[in-house]
């Protein structure tokens, strides 16, 4: 780096300027990516809050439409494993 090329002040300033410009571009790209991620997270959080509010409102509407005490009488199911008559056939 101490070669004769870097003794020229114009070349040295050009290299420093290029490095500074590259750093600014990288900073702008990083800022843009982070800002987009923050905006997306905020949008998703707002959507989740609205979804929770809608679900709570729907649950409140369902509970308001039902009677306070409701007993559901289910018909009796036939027994599946009850003993039954079986015809016996002897083997040939």
Domain encompassing residue 12: 4-64
- Would you say the pTM of this structure is higher than 0.85? no
Q: Is 85 part of a structural domain of the chain?
A: no
Q: What is the pLDDT of residues 9-55, one digit of tens each?
A: 888 899 999 999 999 999 999 999 999 999 999 999 999 999 999 99
Q: Is 50 part of a structural domain of the chain?
A: yes
* Count of domains for the chain: 1
Q: Is 46 part of a structural domain of the chain?
A: yes
Annotate 7-70 with DSSP letters as a single string: G-HHHHHHHHHHHHHHHHHHHHHHHHHHHHHHHHHHHHHHHHHHHHHHHHHHHHHHHHHS-SS-
What per-residue confidence (pLDDT) applies to 36?
Answer: 94
Q: Is 70 part of a structural domain of the chain?
A: no
């Amino acid at each position: 780096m101490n070669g004769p090329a870097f003794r020229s002040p114009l070349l040295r300033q050009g290299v420093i300027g290029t490095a500074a410009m590259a750093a600014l571009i990288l900073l702008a790209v990083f800022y843009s990516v982070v800002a987009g991620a923050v905006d997306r997270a905020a949008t998703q959080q707002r959507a989740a809050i609205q979804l929770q509010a809608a679900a709570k409102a729907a649950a409140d509407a369902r509970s308001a439409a039902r009677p306070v005490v409701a007993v559901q009488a289910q018909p009796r199911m036939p027994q599946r494993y009850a003993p039954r008559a079986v015809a016996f056939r002897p083997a040939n």
